[in-house]
Each structure stands twice: as C-alpha cells, then as structure tokens.
Amino acid sequence: MTSTVWDTALISYALEANSKFDTSNILNKAEMFLLSRQHHRTGDWQLRNPRTEVGGWGFSDINTFTPDIDDTTAALRAIAKSAKTSSSVQRFWHRGLNWVVSMQNSDGGWSAFERNTDKRILSNLAVDGAKATLTEPSSADLTGRTLEFLCDFAGYTLKHRAVERAVHWLLQHQEANGSWYGRWGVCYIYGTWAALTGLLAAGVDAGHPSISRAVTWLLDKQNEDGGWGESCLSDSRHSYVPLGRSTISQTAWATDALIAAHSHLVPAIEQGVGFLVKEQKYDWTNTYPTGAGLPGGFYIHYHSYNTVWTLLALGHYLQRFHTSGMDIDENNSRH
C-alpha cells in the first residue's frame, strides 16, 4: 500500500505555504487527484457514526472505504484555497469537514479511523500488540493537528464546542515534563509539535503555562547543531530517548512549533532554520524512520517527509517574521 493520497496532500499544503513560488499548475493537478479520491463508500467507521455522510479521505490511492482523520484534514488543507472560490470544490470541502467534526470522540479528542473505540478491556487480551491494534484512543498528535486545521483553515474558534473540548483534552493529557506523546510520528517531538500548533491556532495564549512548559521542553531537547533528533525507542520505553543526531523532519517539527509559539525571533528558531537550510547531512539520519506504524513494532521512513516538513517550517518562518523578500541563507548568515 502506497501513501499516495497522504504525500499528495502534504506536498500541496507545503507548496501553498511558500507562495513566492509559482506552483499553480502543479497544485491544480494535485487538487484534481485529491478530489477524485474522496470516499463515497461506507466503511467500519459508520458503526459508531451512522448518521454522517461519507466524506473522508484514506491513506493510499486504492483505499476507497477506510478514511482516516489525518489524511482527511491533510486533503482539506490542500483544497482549502479553492474551496473559498469554487462552488464545486466547496461540496467536497463541506462533506470532508462535516465528517471530521462528526468523528470527534466523546472525550474531546480524535483518533485515526473510528470514534469511541477505546475499550480498555481489549488491551488486556493475550494478543501481541493488543493495545495498539484492538483499541484506538484519542491521541495528542491527531487531536492537535485536527484542532489546527479547524481553526486555521475552517475558521473555528474557542467558542465552538468541538474546539473547546479538544483544547481541554490536550491540556489534560500533557506529560508532566511538558511534552505530548505522538502516536503516528516519532514521537514526543511529533506529539508536542502537533499539540502546540493546535492549541495556539485555537487561541490559547502563548503565555499559558502548558504552552510555556512545552516550549521549555523543546528548547531543552535542541542539539548543539541546532536540530532535534529522537529515537524510535521513545515509543516502547514511554519516555523521550535522544537519537544522538539531528534529523531533518524532527527538526522541522520542533522549529515549526517554536515559530508558532513566538511573536519574535529567538536563537532556537534561527538555529533550527539554519540547520534546515545549511547543515543537512546526507547520511543515515536522512532515512531514519520518523513515521510510526505499530508502536514498538514497525516504523516508516516517508520519502517526502524531509522535504515537506522543511518547506512547511520555512514557509511559516517567512510568513511569521515578514522576511519573504529576504533570502533565508542571507538572513541566517547574520546571526
């Protein structure tokens, strides 16, 4: 199974975030592909959500009836601009948005494929990996990313009940050290990036204690070269394990989170950007898996991740600090 829909949506979103490049032709073709892959067939998710119209997207090109939250919000980000002006695209948009909101769990968070499937008794069955395969509780990464989508792309605010509940869930599930655990990425860096950007998009003040603790945690994990790197062992040990080297995708996540949390440039952001644009080394760290499949079981190296998340972080850097007319290399050489 290939990650065609996921990659296409993410690449489109990253290119949209870098408006100085003329990618309209590429994005138009990508949009047509994504619109053709919105689901129309029913699936298992309807067992606990029977009254909602089909409207999600799945991970792969051939997946036509198993949508998930992350792919759906990624696809919706990619078509968001067109949905504002095209009535035909708006129909796809509204079906997808309605599906995402309807999939919120009763506890306020979001999981990937179904809603309200966190039956703890199943995790005690004598099945290898039972907790990860037989239950699907809300996760910080999916809740944070969905929250960021709803607020930054769909215009939701803290006044909306779904947003209020999601914010409450994230604040209640922050780790004692200030981080969040990410289910579908490695691992605490991924979860913290997703939760931070989601909370900030929802309007939680950057000075809120939870935000401050998360920022402090990220700053503490930055390596001397300006990047970040976390081992897959974090997943099985349930605590942060440094990789000993920085990776591109994890550096992009951490840098993007700090960009969202600051109204002005700080050294950690400049160092993170510097790593992304100048100090990338083509060695084993470039293919180190930072996507999670089965916790403690298998992990995924997405070939697009190093490029996609770097583009996104740099695009947000330029937008946030008004340096769109300045070359990034030139800007970093001054510090």
Q: Which residues of 271-306 are buried (b: 16+ CB within 10 A; e: fewer)?
A: bbbbbbbeebeeeebeebbbbbeebeeebeebebbb
For residue 20, what are the contacts with CB-CB under 8 A and spacing of at least 6?
318, 324
Q: Catalytic residue at 225?
A: no
- Angle at the Cα of 293 (from 287 to 297), degrees rounded to 5? 90
Structure tokens at 325: 């007319």
Q: How far apart are CA 153 and CA 144, in angstroms?
A: 14
Q: What DSSP string runs through 59-74?
A: SSTT-SS---HHHHHH
C-alpha torsion angle, residues 210, 71, 273, 304 (rounded to 10): 150
What is the spatial distance between Cα 139 and Cα 180, in angstroms, rounded to a whole number? 9
Which residue in the list 70, 71, 107, 235 is annotated as catalytic? 70
Half-sphere exposure of 312 toward its Cβ, with a 13 Å CA cutoff? 28
User: What is the distance between the alpha carbons of residues 103 and 135, in angstroms, rounded to a whole number?
Assistant: 15
* Other C-beta atoms lying within 10 Å of the C-beta of residue 174: 22
Tell me the catalytic residues: 70
